[in-house]
Amino acid sequence: MSSGSGRHPQAITKPALGEGEAAALVERVFGLKAAWARPLPSYDDQNFHVRVSGSRGADEYVLKVTNSEDSRRPDLVEVQTRAMMFLSAEGFPSPTPHLTKDGGTMSLEPDGGPGNKKYLVRLLTYLPGTPVAKVAATPQVFYEIGKLAASLDTALTEKFHHPSLKSLHRGQFIWNLANVPLLDQYIYALGQSKYREVVEQVIEQFKGKVVPKLSSFRACINHGDLNDHNILVEPSSASLEHPPQYRVSGILDFSDMSYGYYVFEVAIAIMYMMIESSDPLRVGGHVLAGFESVLPLTAAERGALFPLVSGRFAQSLVMAAHTARLYPDNREYLTVTARTGWRHLLAMLEAGQEAVEKTWFETAAAYGPSGGNAGDR
């Protein structure tokens, strides 16, 4: 869930197109006749589920209208789009763009309003599946998501090339996990509350336990937002004796891509999967086992997991509170993580790093050196 660069989010304008405008945009820019266009939940971009008629290709797409801040960085959006195309070619279930009538992957379009703002628009394939947030997630799902996180970052880092890759060096980007200390600018949104004290504690812990060790972590390209709404799954098997098995059918929202570290991706995935579990403190072990079946962490990376997961909770909760003040009409979507997030973060901190790590590492170890069978857990 991106909220732009490190600049103050007030500089961001979220697009506000109507359904009719979206349908007209699809026809004018992409040459497809839209039968309908329906809004989808979004953070600071605007998305529409679009069905087209008379197309020789796909019938359904997502029209993605990028916020004003990111629209000023076409190099960055182009890299993100090319990364999706690369991953699709590599066998990952990522969206791909329908080209504009001019043969481009995107187009800069005026909104027609008094401010004369312009937004980058793309038409991406609509992927099948259900968000993890809407299924009864099991250890098998968490393991698969950990495995996906490692495989995705490894492919991007080792095989993806583009002339504008340098645009992924987003030093002050608030959603890069290295930038937890920058939350100081936004913590006002929590008011004078116990939550503010908790976040201040997390930030100090991060400064002491993570920042000095960053140079020892293995660098990579991060997707940066493998959350419970950005991963789609479909049933792969089911029986009366066993819970349904799922496979990942879609990876959404590459707008938070940036250079980071492998351990960031697994920490981010752990945090968001905790949101979907009735046993949240054990989730990290299942995600970690999946991740390490592809890429084992070093001792230094494992030792940073607790403050990294806590830091991601803080990022999500603080930025949601801040952004909800700017866009109160979108409060329900913006604060979805906060419904259980504060409780999970407080439980983590109360249990303490040693106890939580013990749970994670013992759960992961139960899978055995080869990753084991996630479906048996």
Residues annotated catalytic, as ranges: 225
Per the CB < 8 A criterion, the answer to whether 74 and 118 are in contact is: no
42-67: b (≥16 Cβ within 10 Å) or e: bbbbbbbebbbeeeeeeeebbbbbbb
> What are φ and ψ of residue 38, in 5° steps?
-120, 135
Nearest residue to 93 (alpha-carbon basis) of 2, 286, 226 = 226
What does DSSP assign to residue 293? T
Q: Which residues contact 29 (CB under 8 A, 6 or more apart)?
A: 100, 101, 107, 109, 121, 123
Amino acid at 249: S
Torsional sign, CA 364, 369, 374, 377: negative
Compute φ and ψ for 223, nearest 5 degrees: -60, -45
Helix (H, G, I), strand (E, B) or coil at 331: helix
As a whole number of angstroms, the distance between CA 263 and CA 280 comes to 19
